[in-house]
Chain A
Amino acid sequence: MNEHQQTLWEFMQQQADKLGVQTMQHIGLTFISLFIAVLVGLPLGIYITRKKQLSGIVLGIAGILQTIPSIALLGFMIPVLGIGAKPAIVALLLYALLPIIRNTYTGITGVDATVKEAAVAMGMNKWQVLFKVELPLAMPVILAGIRTATVINVGVATLASYIAAGGLGEFIFGGISLNNTNMILAGAIPAAMLAILFDFLLSRLQKLNFKKIKGAVKFAPVLLIFLSCLYFIPSAYGSKLTAGFTPEFMGRQDGNLGLISKYGLKIHTIVINDAVMYKAAQEKELDVISGYSTDGRLKAYDLVVLNDDKKIFPPYYAAPIVREDALRKFPELEKTLNLLAGKITDSVMTELNYRTDYLHQTPERVAKDFLVSKKLYRPERGGNEGTVRIGSKIFGEQYILASMYTMLIKGYTNYSVATKTGLGGTKIVFDAMTNDQIDFYPEYTGTGLLAILKASPQTVTRLQVSKDSTYNYVQHEFAKRYQIKWLKPIGFNNAYALMMRQKQANELHIKTISDLKRYLERK
């Protein structure tokens, strides 16, 4: 445990710059949106105390806004506001509205009617009643609303990193996808502390007596604006092109770190979620993105992969991996699975992925069409000489491959098939395999090397020069350690890749990552 904390501390020290920037962005995002939410919510809350018949509608709408899942809300924002700070602020603002409007409303309607009447009776006009009586007396309740909104915003602001608005979510979600606990904690602990800190400060403000609250409330806008400005301080760099990378890509040696160390690539980079990255590239919010070379969206959004001329991305050639005892039990199996070997190129796989992910065709249909076109398809024999158990991870490409294998086994052998598709990530599906829950599934050489074998950096450097050496290495090691056999590669390489819009790449004559670097360095 001690040692663990040590490493977290080291990580935070080592990443202190980034941590500082992210924390400031986080505070900034929280308070810009809070500030605007107060500007909108407070008058609206006051207004509906005057027009009670509108209160139901207004509070209803604010309530519905708050039930929209955060990711979905961020998603809705992109077509309208693009990516970056704007949509994040608007989304946060929408979440913060309800507690502010509601508490303003209940705070003001809760002011003692006799006191209000006394104010009117003494000759105050309606503005004087509002500012001298209603608002000051409702202030503790309104502050409670602002406090709730602040805590919500600190939480939701972690999701801002999905749409390239920065914040501590970069570490949190980067850490989750890299399975790096220190990175997760380096984001999560400061985020939690911010929430606790602001909650505490606002609770103190709430408990001040009326005299002091007067001063504090006057001071609040200044403080809010100052905190909001934190967001803009870090983002003062310029570059001809803007890159959007996933949090995972940001933290990997075979990702952004390699781009910096091997290529010396200096590009204005924002962190963004995979789900919106491609769309943002198409809409020219981003120029360069990280992605997978066989992703269907490559085709859907008319993007082109830049050639990795210095070979920093290890090959991710796909091949079925099978338990050796299953090969013995089903003698026909190896031959049947190898029917696909070398049949699917990168562009073919991209096309197939495009059909499932974008045209929403079923993986079965796509698999069958492909097999038919390659004249590999045979009708089912309906055999019953044992059941082969197929696994797959939880994304489209794996579903398509699993379908193809199912059809091939049913058509070429007398085995029946049980499929266990959608087994989460690598760890889950591979555990299922070593625990004899499945007989085989399609895996990638790079994943085998890095995620399963956890090869040392030296080994990685030595191997990644060529496709074959990686394949041979994992094949050898898997047989030795797990009694699992890598069959022949299917042909395509689903590796990390940098991509750009086809049109822009052509105009700028950028074909390789080195071209990109040269273009960026040109004055």
Chain B
Amino acid sequence: MIKVEHLVKTFGTTHAVDDISFEVNEGENMVLLGTSGSGKTTTLKMLNRLIEPDSGSIAIDGKNIIGQPAEILRRSIGYVLQNNGLFPHYTVAENIAIVPNLLKWDKAKTQARVAELLEKLHLDKNYLNVYPNELSGGQQQRIGLARALVANPPVLLMDEPFGALDNVTRSKIHGEFLALDELKRKTIIMVTHDVQEAFELADRIALMDKGKIIQIGSPANLLFNPVNDFVRNFLKEQHLQLEFKTIKLSDIWEYLPEGGKKINTSLIPASSGVWEALENFKFYPRENINVLNQQNKEVRPITFDQLMAAFSKYKNHQSHE
């Protein structure tokens, strides 16, 4: 879907992006992760030509993006900015309708689409005629997302879309983000410097440093097969939490005890991460949660201690392999 080859961009003596290549498949969610100044934003902006590369090529759907007028290209790529970049002089409705208006959609179609998105993003219709400064940060971020999605672009670029939010709001929006059907079919490239966020949202992560991609691969790949010390150190601090998020209940299924007593109605699929299971215990303290294996429809009620024991057995086994 997106193919980037030998991309280079220097600002004066700064090698912002230093010969990177990667591919993003259709419907994939690729996260560019890295410290501040590692070249993530520069990479992203070259994809919609907000920044022109010094050399290298970018193709979307096999077409070189340099070949087409920048404005036309940009109307087919959704872009979400870190500080949302909403127009302060436009109402929520007008903000969302910017691209449809540029594409000269008729009024009714635009209106219907705006209403549809508001609903999907759990925003009240009453917000249509208010100005962005009257909204909370989380609401503004959702409007920013709606604005990027409105014309149904196949590609979505997001630059630290949740950067300005507090942790509680952020994890809530992460949940919505993953659940949003609009996003399931899209090819998404998202920039973040938040390791947790990358692991929660990414199909694949490209870890960048000083303008280069150090490692590219699935979260588990980065976590368990780091190519060098840089990657290892980068993930070290939050390693345990990342493992909880990366390791799925199905991975440790064989270590979960059978024949526990089912004493409540909770049900969590085995495709969920250990982290999610741990979070479930918040709601059912000192009791069991029921894990469902979708393949054989087997349900195993387990306690907190049993879950932790299974996790460490799995880990032990891994490290002895």
Contacts and interface: CB of A to CB of B under 8 A. Distances in A.
Contact of B85 (A114, A123, A137, A209): A114
A177 interface: no
Interface in B259-295: none
A288 B88 CA distance: 61
B86 A122 contact: no
A117 B99 contact: no
B1 interface: no
A117 B102 contact: no
Contacts, number: 58
B48 interface: yes
B74 A119 contact: no
Contact of A115 (B71, B73, B75, B85): B85
B88 A115 contact: yes
Interface string B64-99: 000000011111000101111111111000000011
Interface in A101-128: 112, 114-115, 117-125, 128
Given A117-B50, A117-B81, A210-B131, A124 B71 contact: yes
A117 B102 CA distance: 16
B91 to A, nearest CB: 8
A118 B79 CA distance: 8
B81 A122 contact: no
Contacts of A210: 88-90, 131
Interface string B86-118: 111110000000110010000000000000000
B147 interface: yes
Contacts of A112: 85, 88
Interface in A132-190: 133, 136-137
A298 B48 CA distance: 76
Contacts of B81: 114, 117-118, 121
Contacts of B82: 114
A133 B99 contact: no
A112 B131 CA distance: 16
Interface string B136-154: 0000000000010000000
A123 B72 contact: yes
Contacts of B75: 122-123
Q: Which one of A112, A114, A118, A120 has the greatest number of beta carbons of chain B within 10 Å?
A: A118
The 3 closest A-B pairs by CB, nearest first: A118-B85, A123-B75, A210-B89
17 contacts: A114-B83, A114-B85, A115-B88, A117-B81, A118-B85, A118-B86, A119-B87, A120-B74, A121-B50, A121-B74, A122-B99, A122-B102, A122-B147, A123-B102, A124-B71, A124-B102, A125-B71
Given A121-B48, A124-B102, 17 more contacts: A114-B81, A114-B83, A114-B84, A115-B86, A117-B50, A117-B81, A118-B79, A121-B50, A121-B74, A121-B81, A122-B79, A123-B74, A124-B98, A133-B87, A137-B88, A210-B89, A210-B90
Interface of A: 112, 114-115, 117-125, 128, 133, 136-137, 209-210
